[in-house]
């Protein structure tokens, strides 16, 4: 495992404006590549836009499909792993909040949101798998927005070997500073308790369907400290280096790495 440079994007995603949103993905992926990033993570539903009404069915697409093909083209052009979100329509006509892991080698992985927030339950189907993915010796998981409020999910990913968890959001309401304070109530604990990196980002601006998102992105190290953050609300990327030694310092310390000392036999 070597150090890994990543980019984390804060972007606007108007509902249904797929071409415009893909153009943003292309723009910021190029910017990430120019700064040496091997991977870029975009917010939840960054391609289709986020909308918790029936209209989400209109913008949802299958995978593979036009969106995944366009994302693969971008990943190949820039030789960067692209994590981007969409409303996915399955073969059984279910609609998922999905995040794609698009590799330049042509492989496309999918994470489907597992915990559906109450306002979304009429329109979205919950996923049922906890997939993990790999890049440059790092194992990573993805959680989408509301997923982050369930500590068991992060622990399950950590037990399965996750070194990093990416947390793309489409979380409206409030301003960026308020969202940062909200995230600081739980995201550092996910990193600290499980000895891994947490990388989170949110949409920004209007979705043209009545929702407004406060742009924010942050990276938290395995000690639970904020490594990088951006809370000015603008469309941008932040660049962070995930360090092998930061993981090892925690995981080789008897009193700072809690995961091996769990007692799942008594949890019931």
**4-259: what CATH class?**
alpha beta
Beta-ladder partners of 16? none
Contacts 24+ apart (CB under 8 A), 174-181: 174/214, 175/214, 175/233, 176/214, 176/215, 176/216, 176/231, 176/232, 176/233, 177/231, 178/214, 179/214, 179/216, 179/231, 180/216, 180/218, 180/229, 180/231
> What is the maximal distance between C-alpha atoms in the chain?
52
Closest CA to 262 of 159, 180, 164, 167: 159
Nearest of 33, 25, 6, 49 to residue 221 by alpha carbon: 6
Q: Can you give the residue ranges of every domain in the chain?
A: 4-259
List per-residue pLDDT tens for the chain, 268 residues long: 789 999 999 999 999 999 999 999 999 999 999 999 999 999 999 999 998 788 899 999 999 999 999 999 999 999 999 999 999 999 999 999 999 999 999 999 999 999 999 999 999 999 999 999 999 999 999 999 999 999 999 999 999 999 999 999 999 989 999 999 999 999 999 999 999 999 999 999 999 888 999 999 999 999 999 999 999 999 999 999 999 999 999 999 989 999 999 999 999 7
Contacts (Cβ under 8 Å, ≥6 apart) of 73: none
Evaluate if pTM is beyond 0.85: yes
Q: What span, in angstroms and rounded, lies between the C-alpha atoms of 128 and 116?
A: 11
């Amino acid at each position: 495992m070597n150090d890994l440079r990543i980019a984390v994007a804060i972007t606007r995603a108007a509902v249904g404006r797929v071409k415009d949103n893909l153009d943003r993905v292309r723009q910021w992926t190029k910017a990430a590549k120019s700064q040496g990033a091997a991977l870029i993570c975009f917010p939840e539903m960054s391609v289709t836009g986020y909308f918790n009404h029936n209209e989400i069915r209109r913008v949802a697409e299958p995978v593979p499909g036009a969106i995944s093909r366009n994302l693969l083209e971008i990943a190949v052009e820039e030789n960067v792993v692209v994590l981007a979100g969409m409303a996915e329509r399955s073969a059984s006509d279910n609609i998922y909040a999905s995040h794609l892991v698009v590799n330049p080698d042509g492989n496309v992985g999918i994470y489907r949101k597992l915990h559906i927030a109450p306002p979304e339950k009429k329109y979205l189907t919950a996923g049922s798998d906890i997939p993990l993915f790999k890049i440059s010796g790092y194992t990573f998981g993805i959680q989408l927005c509301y997923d982050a409020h369930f500590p068991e999910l992060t622990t399950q990913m950590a037990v399965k070997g996750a070194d990093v968890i990416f947390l793309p959001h489409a979380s409206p309401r409030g301003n960026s500073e308020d969202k940062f304070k909200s995230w600081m109530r739980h995201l550092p604990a996910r990193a600290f308790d499980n000895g891994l990196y947490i990388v989170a980002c949110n949409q920004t601006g209007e979705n043209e369907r009545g929702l407004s998102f406060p742009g924010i992105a942050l990276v938290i190290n395995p000690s639970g400290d904020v490594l990088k953050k951006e809370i000015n609300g603008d469309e941008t990327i932040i660049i962070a280096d995930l360090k092998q030694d930061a993981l090892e310092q925690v995981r080789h310390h008897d009193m700072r790495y809690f995961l091996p000392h769990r007692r799942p036999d008594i949890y019931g």
